């Protein structure tokens, strides 16, 4: 079958899945199927993070946007309920830095560049031991797995998706439970056609993450009185 899903289409599927997942967490915990449907979100966004690192015209802006939003959301989380649990945006921020280190090593495969790349992986591991970061060490590594074939003869959607799937297996083994359902995203990713889509929806996706959480949290507060 000819790949037919654009990056925007995949992100919209992921956004819908994420909304269902968080609705199940905050509003309908008695329906675990909602959390299972929500497992599609992480692998799709993880794959698109790897793609974003590959095609970005400004590393600083790409990382800065994700990290700034992560910090902003964390301030809101802390003010709302005192939580220091670091969100998925921090997870992806660490992924981005690690992928950039990998890219530098590929561009200039020197011992120093290699040391920086493996030091980045070690730093991610240590940070995940010190802080509570969403999806943990393997969550940070899943986008890195997807980025491994980039700029090599294996640079295809199929190979990147299969390696991402391997990362999801490690993640599932680490967390257990419903995490293995994330592998259901693999067929969708194999339908990716490598194109962004007709519209530039970057700002929409940056806004959607905090906005949907605020709306769901407000509904949860109203329902609970």
pLDDT digits (tens, 9 = 90+) for 17-54: 999 999 999 999 999 999 999 999 999 999 999 999 99
Structure tokens at 162: 């299969």
- Domain boundaries of the chain, sorted by first residue: 7-224
Per-residue confidence at 55, pLDDT binned at 50, 70, 90? very high
**Cβ–Cβ contacts within 10 Å for residue 90, how many?**
22
More confident residue, 44 or 198: 44
- pLDDT bin (cut points 50, 70, 90) of residue 208 is very high
Burial of 135 (0-12, 13-18, 19+ CB in 10 A): buried
3-state secondary structure (DSSP) of residue 150: coil
CB 94 within 8 A of CB 141: no
Contacts of 61 (CB under 8 A, 6+ apart): none
Residue 106, pLDDT > 70, answer: yes
Does the pLDDT of residue 96 top 90, yes or no?
yes
Average pLDDT for 197-225: 90
Determine the distance from the C-alpha atom of residue 57 to the mean position of all C-alpha atoms in its chain, rounded to a whole number. 20
**Cα 141 from Cα 92, distance rounded (Å):** 9
CB 41 within 8 A of CB 213: no
State yes or no: pLDDT of 70 exceeds 90. yes
Contact 120, 98 (CB under 8 A): yes
pLDDT (average), residues 92-120 = 97
Query: What is the pLDDT, as a whole number, of residue 87?
Result: 93
Q: Are 51 and 7 in contact (CB under 8 A)?
A: yes
Query: In the Cβ-directed half-sphere of 214, how many Cα atoms lie within 13 Å?
Result: 10
- Residue pointed to by tokens 């020197």: 110
Region 70-91: mean pLDDT is: 87
| CA-CA-CA-CA dihedral for 125, 46, 94, 101, to nearest 10 | 100
């Amino acid at each position: 079958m000819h790949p037919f899903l654009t990056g925007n289409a995949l992100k919209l599927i992921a956004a819908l899945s994420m909304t269902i997942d968080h609705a199940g967490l905050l509003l309908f915990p008695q329906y675990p199927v909602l959390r299972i449907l929500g497992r599609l979100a992480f692998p799709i966004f993880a794959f698109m993070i790897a793609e974003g690192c590959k095609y970005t015209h400004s590393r600083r802006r790409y990382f800065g946007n994700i990290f700034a939003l992560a910090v902003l959301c964390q301030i809101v989380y802390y003010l709302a309920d005192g939580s220091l649990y670091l969100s998925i945006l921090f997870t992806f921020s660490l992924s981005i830095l690690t992928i950039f280190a990998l890219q530098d090593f590929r561009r200039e495969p020197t011992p120093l560049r290699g040391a920086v790349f493996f030091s980045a992986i070690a730093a991610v591991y240590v940070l995940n031991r010190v802080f509570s970061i969403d999806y943990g060490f393997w969550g940070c590594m899943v986008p890195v797995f997807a980025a491994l074939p980039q700029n090599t003869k294996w640079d295809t959607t199929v190979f990147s998706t299969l390696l991402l799937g391997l990362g999801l297996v490690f993640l599932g083994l680490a967390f257990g439970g419903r995490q293995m359902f994330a592998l259901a995203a693999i067929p969708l990713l194999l339908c990716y056609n490598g194109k962004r889509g007709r519209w530039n929806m970057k700002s929409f996706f940056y806004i959607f993450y905090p906005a949907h959480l605020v709306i769901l949290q407000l509904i949860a507060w109203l329902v609970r009185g």
